[in-house]
Amino acid sequence: MSFTPGDARLCPARRRAPVLLHGMLLGAALLLVQAAFSFSAVLAAGQANPAAAGANHPAPLAVVLVIDALPVEDFTSPAWPHLRAVMAGGGLIGLMNARTAGTAASAAAHATLGSGARARAGPAGGLSFDADGVYRDRPAAEVYRTLTGLDPGEDQVLFLGLPELLARNTDLPDRVVPGLLGQALRDAGRQTAVIGNADLHDAFRRHGALIAMDAAGRVGLGTVGRGTLAEDPEWPFGWRTDYDAVWDAFLAVAPHAGLIVIELGDLARLDAYRELIAPERRRMLQERTIARLDALIGQLDAWARGAGTAAFLMVAVPTPPAEALRDNYLLTPIAWGPLGTGPALGTAGAAREQGAQVSGEPLAGPTGTPGVAAGPGLATSATTRRAGIVANTDVAPTVLAALGVAPPPGMAGRPLAGVSLAALRRDLPWTVAVPADPWEAVALIYQRATAVHTLRPPVVRAFIGLAIAVFVAWTAWLAWASLAKAPGPEARLGAWRWMLLLLLAAPLSVLLAPLLDPLLPLQAPGARMAIIGLLAAGLASAAWAAGRRDGIGPFAWLSLATVAALVADVILGAPLIKSSILGYDPITGARFYGIGNEYMGVLIGTALVGTGGLLDRFPGRTGLRWAVLGVYALVSTVLAAPGLGVNVGGTVAAVSGFSVTALLLWRRRLAWRAAFLAMLAVAAVLAAAAWVDVAASVQPSHLGRAALLLVRGELETLWNIAVRKVQMNVRLLNWTIWAQVMVVSLAISAVALHRPGQLIRRLEGRHPHLVRSVRGAVVASLVALAANDSGVVAAATGLIPATATLLYLVTLDRGFPR
């Protein structure tokens, strides 16, 4: 065996400030009320954190089984009787977002687990060796010393790729410290160990050390060499994991280690050889491997019962199999729970031997065993606030919390907590049933997430393409007609109005479409796109038919219906947004809860358009203006409330746009004083939200954590956050399709409003509130562009209703040719 490295009406001046103060105080009051009924209590519901079971033990142990390339479908199958028994004793199961700071390669994923922050890695990420081993005919300890300049000391495993790994992570906006998990344990006086590898016949793949090593690339105990492999003539290229050797190594290090990482690489090897193995043969080998893996879990459980040690088991899958990775499905299985507390299932060693000898059937789980049927809880964390979904950055803080070690500041994740199956109700549309079995629930979460991820690109492209086509065609036809003295868009006013209403109805139809999920297979993108199109057409037609003689009524009512649906959904836990194509994507992992940038822009834009149209529809009603301010305060609260998933950039954009619009509604011109008042309102709302977040939550959101960073004077970290947001915006401006519709919408709206001609002035005279609300929407969109890490998306979705409204008003103008 040889190895080579691989790899309108005026208000007196004295009343203007009270008007704004009313909105600000109302928003702050709503925030305080929300704090009293914080939705963050869901994190404490259901299952208790299994770390609590070993809180009083003098030396708890955490065992992390790394099973790379384990498919979610296999994880949720009944082929894991021992794993299911362990998890039935108070464990948690779910899916882990596997995103890294670079490509979704195995080395980067392991480095992310070990650092507690999204990391990068290079070709040398698999070069870990036993200290007494050999690399390229040189002693591994000598190679380590010559490459790093560090003394290997008495540590048993050394990572030779440390200089490359450090270099890959130096220019990231967020501070990433490779080996931070192992370093925190070493600083606390605890040892770490790593056992096993995922070597191929021609490449070293020993990534487990990236989880257990300290900041110097050293692991105190363990072995990752060829001694953990067994010759097997039935295995591709003749080598697979030697489970007996792994077990012996575990017994040798268990009395001395606080964390033991066991890399079980057989599934990763099969995945690497997938193109070379017949499908039936590969499936048979996968089933045998799963039987062996589950048997090892049974051995660990039996050992924990006899050892009297508070021990915890984590099954972690750093990267998905190649088939899922090809579709960018970056969700992998994760399990976490105490060993030795669930029902005992018998001799695990015999089961492993059966798995080694029997070719086909996976081990069947026990029937009628007490505790097994009840099942585990669903994993969650303060990072995601989603039942059954966590982040890979949560792994390191979870291990440290179980071992009684405080997570260092460089870790971005939060410890895992548990929720019951009932908590999943808040994450699913009301028409979708929650499975009675937690393993089936995890499978359902995965199916829904991948279905939405697959459908998102074609639907978003269709929506943006329609918006660009309508906006460009309308303005181009109007310009050509005025120059050529030919019939313009007025020749087809009915069709144009309906198309503009269709654009406004599209986000609402996408939001409501998940309610129809039970009628369609999840993996039927064509049918789901058709449903969305029919919903949008139906909403547009209903609004157009009901308001044919109502002027601005159709736009106002459709906008307000969108606002009502979004606000209600967020208050109820955002079950529709979480299942919507315009919602956030747990696979992408940019956001997991609250309201994302897509619908944030829609909410602000439609709130301004809808309330402006309402004021023009019922002019002269002073009380209605105060109601409009109430809508502004409600929307701002929904965006700012920590318990609802605070969107900081959205709060800044909303309060800015609402303040400008409120000033325009009470006076016709803006001054520097007005801009100062708008900034003051933004600061007041953000300060109130941050105070509520920190005071009312044990685990504050990103807003509360940012406020704490400011109070502690950690300005460098805050600066890194700002840099990351700017970099994300620059990337999106370069490649996202949202930038195209934003530019088109901004060109039409901003130019028309900044240099208003006779037509726009006439429109403002007839529809003063609506035109001023469009101005406010443009301001809010520009602020959203600057204040969000994907602000181009929020700006685009906020400008679409504003631009559509402006063009719709043109069709209502009595001076427009018919």
Cβ-Cβ contacts under 8 Å for 799 (sequence gap 6 or more): 601, 605, 741, 742, 745, 746, 749, 777, 778, 781
Whether residue 6 is contained in a domain is answered as no
User: 734 vs 796, which has greater pLDDT?
Assistant: 796
The pLDDT tens digits for 701-719 are 555 566 666 666 666 666 6
Does residue 734 register a pLDDT over 90?
no
CB burial readout 267-276, b (16+ within 10 A) else e? bbbbbbbeee
Report the CATH number that the domain containing residue 196 is assigned in CATH: 3.40.720.10
Give the CA distances from residue 539 to residues 532, 608, 743, in Å, rounded to whole numbers and listed in that order.
11, 20, 27
pLDDT (tens digit per residue) in 242-300: 999 999 999 999 999 999 999 999 999 999 999 999 999 999 999 999 999 999 999 99
Q: How confident is the model at residue 699 (pLDDT cuts 50, 70, 90)?
A: low
pLDDT value of residue 693: 56
pLDDT per position as a tens digit, 13-39: 444 444 443 444 444 444 444 443 333
The CB-based long-range contact list for 143-146 (8 Å cut-off, 24+ gap) reads: 144/217
Q: Give me the pLDDT at residue 735, please.
A: 65
Tell how far CA 735 is from the center of its chain.
20
Q: What is the mean pLDDT of residues 551-579?
A: 94
The 10 Å Cβ neighbour count of residue 660 is 25
- Per the domain annotation, does 83 fall within a domain? yes
Looking at the structure, tell me whether residues 367 and 493 fall in a common domain: no
Residues whose CB is less than 8 angstroms from the CB of residue 146 and which lie 6 or more positions away in sequence, other chains included = none
pLDDT in tens, 64-86: 999 999 999 999 999 999 999 99
Gap between the Cα atoms of 123 and 392, Å rounded: 21
Torsion angle, CA of 393/293/260/405, rounded to 10 degrees? 40
Residue 446 covered by a domain: no
Task: Map residue 529 onto helix, strand or coil.
Answer: helix
Residue 191 β-bridge partners: 257
pLDDT at 166: 97
In a domain, 433, yes or no: no
The chain-wide mean pLDDT, for the chain, equals 84
Examine the domain organization and report whether 537 and 400 are in the same domain: no
Q: What percent of the chain has pLDDT over 70?
A: 78
**Is the distance from CB of 165 to CB of 125 less than 8 angstroms?**
yes
- Residue 185 within any structural domain of the chain: yes
3 lies in a domain?
no
Cα angle value 432/375/331 (rounded, 5°): 60
Could you tell me the pLDDT band of residue 152, with boundaries at 50, 70 and 90?
Answer: very high
Mean pLDDT on 442-459: 94
> Quick one: 375 and 498 in the same domain?
no
The residue segments making up the domain with residue 130 are 50-419
Least confident of 239-248, 399-408, 525-534, 685-694: 685-694
Read off the pLDDT band of 817 (50, 70, 90).
Answer: low
Domain boundary among 366, 396, 419: 419
List residues bridging with 260 in a β-sheet.
Answer: 63, 193
Cα separation, 741 vs 792, whole angstroms: 10
List Cβ neighbours of 471 (8 Å cut-off, separation of 6 or more): 744, 745, 748, 803, 804, 807
Least confident interval from 162-176, 526-540, 748-762 = 748-762
pLDDT at 711: 64
Residues in the chain: 818
Candidate ranges 56-60, 149-153, 621-625; pick with highest mean pLDDT? 149-153
- Whether residue 122 is found in the same domain as residue 160: yes
The mean pLDDT of 52-60, rounded to a whole number, is 53
The answer to whether residue 368 sits within a structural domain is yes
Q: Indicate whether 525 and 499 sit together in one domain.
A: yes
- The CA distance from 210 to 112, in Å, is 8
Residue predicted with more confidence, 733 or 539: 539
The closest alpha carbon to 65, from 180, 160, 185, 194, belongs to: 194
- Say if CB 107 and CB 125 are below 8 A apart: yes
Residues 64 and 158 placed together within one structural domain of the fold = yes
Shared domain check, 509 and 614: yes
Structural domains of the chain, count: 2
pLDDT value, residue 173: 75
Is 130 in the same domain as 173?
yes
> Hey, which residues does 135 pair with through a beta bridge?
138
Quick one: 402 and 470 in the same domain?
no
Whether residue 426 has pLDDT greater than 60? yes
Residue 442 neighbours by CB under 8 Å, 6+ apart: 72, 75, 76, 93, 94, 95, 333, 378, 388
Domain check: are 350 and 482 in the same one?
no
- 727 pLDDT band (50/70/90 cuts)? low
Strongest mean pLDDT among 185-199, 664-678, 687-701: 185-199
Residue 10 reports pLDDT greater than 50: no
Query: Average of pLDDT values for 717-728?
Result: 66
Same domain for 408 and 479, yes or no, is no
| DSSP tag of 594 | S
Q: Which of 393, 419, 445 is the last residue of a domain?
A: 419
Sequence-separated (6 or more) residues with CB below 8 Å from residue 522: 447, 448, 451
Tell me if 779 is assigned to some domain.
Answer: yes
Q: How many angstroms separate the Cα of 509 from the Cα of each of 459, 504, 674?
A: 12, 10, 37
State pLDDT tens for residues 507-543: 999 999 999 988 877 667 788 889 999 999 999 999 8
Question: Confidence band (pLDDT; 50, 70, 90) for 725?
Answer: low
> In this model, does residue 63 exceed pLDDT 50?
yes
Q: CA 218, 255, 289: angle at the middle one, nearest 5?
A: 75
What token pair was written down for 465? 């393409």
Domain end among 372, 403, 419: 419
User: Are 263 and 398 in a shared domain?
Assistant: yes
Q: Is 38 exposed, middle or buried (0-12, 13-18, 19+ CB in 10 A)?
A: middle
Q: Helix crossing, 648-666 with 597-617: angle to 10°?
A: 20
Express as a percent the part of the chain with pLDDT over 90. Answer: 61
